[in-house]
Structure formats: structure tokens, C-alpha cells
């Protein structure tokens, strides 16, 4: 008789868009009008609040090996961590590091000074939209000026795509964008993007 197995918590996790995985994959368009949409689930996300001029901020920067961005739209990356500016004293740390250990390290760096470190990994999921027409897809429902002269690689801001509030981060010049919706809005946003992508799978009308 086979020995019973016990699945750990990680094995039982289900991402907000697991039920759309096949649809996301099937929606990929190749060629000069190419675009793809994929979910990046289970990345560590930590909400950070601290006075940027404080000793605690300096300790946190040392822990992350990255300076905390000081201006709207700025990001900073080092190793597995990227820090997104959300406000004058607020950042989102996105990381491939283990969530409990990163949260513990940042809490230790805060050292009891005013501020907060909160693991918000379950609060959002991440959608990656990439390909030659990715910007055109977003422009169907985003009021933000996404032209390269105004928004380029390394920029991240809070905005709205369709009716859904998101953090929008352009990661490279391909272009590739990562969208951070609340988990409860992820299904709606994914379906909105799938609908926006659909025309590029059809012959171009000239």
C-alpha cells in the first residue's frame, strides 16, 4: 500500500487566474502585431511605510541593497527585489525572495521606529502583457500617456485600466508591462485584456 502523502500549504495554493490559464495561453498572437498575456502569481509583495529621511529608511535600503525611490513613477532594483514608489513615504517591494524571510528582515531593519512593514502578497496578483502591440492594447482603456517620451522602462504608477485600479509597471522596451490588480478584480481585468487583444488575432483591416 502506498504511503499517504501530505500536501504542504504551497502545494495547495491556487492563483486568482488559475481557471483562465489555458485561455491566456491560447490568446497569444505572434508576428508584428504580436501580444501575449500571462499571470505571474505568488511573487512576494511587501507594503513599506517609513520616513525616507530617517535612520530606519537607511537601514531598510541597506537590507534591500537598493535606494528607496524618491519620486512618482520611479523604481529601484537590486538582486531579487524591485521597489516601486507609491507615495512620499510609501513603497511596494516586489521580490522573488521568500515572503516570510523578507518581511522579517525588513521588520528588523525598521527596528521599532515609526513606520510599517506588511506582507501583502495575497492582496494582488500580477499580469504580464508583452509584445509589439502591448502598448496599443493598454491604450484602449488607460488614460495615462504611455508614449515612450512620457512612460518607459522602469516606470511604475498607480492608474486605471478599463474600470480596474492597478499599479502599472513597464519592465522593458519590448514593450512588456506588469499590471498589479487586486486579486478580487483580477478575473475582470484579465477578461477585459483578452477582449482587447482579440482584434490582433484577426487579419488587419486596411
The confidence score (pLDDT) of residue 2 equals: 47
Residue 4 lies in a domain: no
The confidence score (pLDDT) of residue 154 equals: 96
Last residue of a domain, one of 71, 98, 119: 119
The confidence score (pLDDT) of residue 13 equals: 85
The confidence score (pLDDT) of residue 1 equals: 43
Residue 7 lies in a domain: no
Mapped onto helix, strand or coil, the DSSP state of residue 61 is helix
Whole-model pTM: value is 0.92
Mapped onto helix, strand or coil, the DSSP state of residue 97 is coil
Phi, psi angle pair for 172, to nearest 5°: -155, 180
Give the chain's residues under pLDDT 70.
1-11
CATH number at residue 93: 3.30.70.1520
The confidence score (pLDDT) of residue 204 equals: 79
The confidence score (pLDDT) of residue 12 equals: 75
Residue 133 lies in a domain: yes
The confidence score (pLDDT) of residue 126 equals: 98
Residue 137: cis peptide before it, omega within 30 degrees of 0: no
Residue 10 lies in a domain: no
Mark whether 178 and 155 lie in a shared domain. yes
User: Residue 95 sits in which domain range?
Assistant: 44-119
Amino acid at each position: 500500500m502506498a504511503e499517504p502523502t501530505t500536501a504542504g500549504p504551497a502545494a495547495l495554493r491556487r492563483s486568482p487566474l488559475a481557471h483562465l490559464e489555458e485561455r491566456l495561453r491560447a490568446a497569444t498572437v505572434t508576428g508584428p502585431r504580436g501580444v501575449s498575456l500571462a499571470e505571474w502569481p505568488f511573487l512576494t509583495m511587501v507594503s513599506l511605510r517609513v520616513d525616507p529621511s530617517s535612520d530606519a529608511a537607511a537601514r531598510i535600503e541597506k537590507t534591500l541593497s537598493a535606494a528607496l525611490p524618491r519620486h512618482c513613477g520611479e523604481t529601484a532594483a537590486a538582486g531579487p527585489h524591485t521597489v516601486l514608489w507609491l507615495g512620499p513615504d510609501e513603497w511596494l517591494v516586489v521580490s522573488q525572495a521568500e515572503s516570510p524571510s523578507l518581511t522579517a528582515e525588513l521588520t528588523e531593519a525598521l527596528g521599532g521606529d515609526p513606520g510599517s512593514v506588511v506582507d501583502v502578497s495575497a492582496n494582488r496578483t500580477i499580469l504580464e502583457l508583452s509584445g509589439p502591440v502591448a502598448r496599443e492594447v493598454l491604450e484602449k482603456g488607460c488614460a495615462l500617456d504611455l508614449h515612450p517620451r512620457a512612460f518607459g522602462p522602469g516606470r511604475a504608477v498607480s492608474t486605471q485600466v478599463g474600470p480596474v485600479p492597478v499599479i502599472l509597471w513597464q519592465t522593458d522596451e519590448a514593450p512588456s508591462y506588469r499590471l498589479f490588480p487586486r486579486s478580487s478584480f483580477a478575473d475582470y481585468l484579465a477578461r477585459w485584456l483578452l477582449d482587447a487583444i482579440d482584434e490582433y488575432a484577426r487579419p488587419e483591416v486596411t
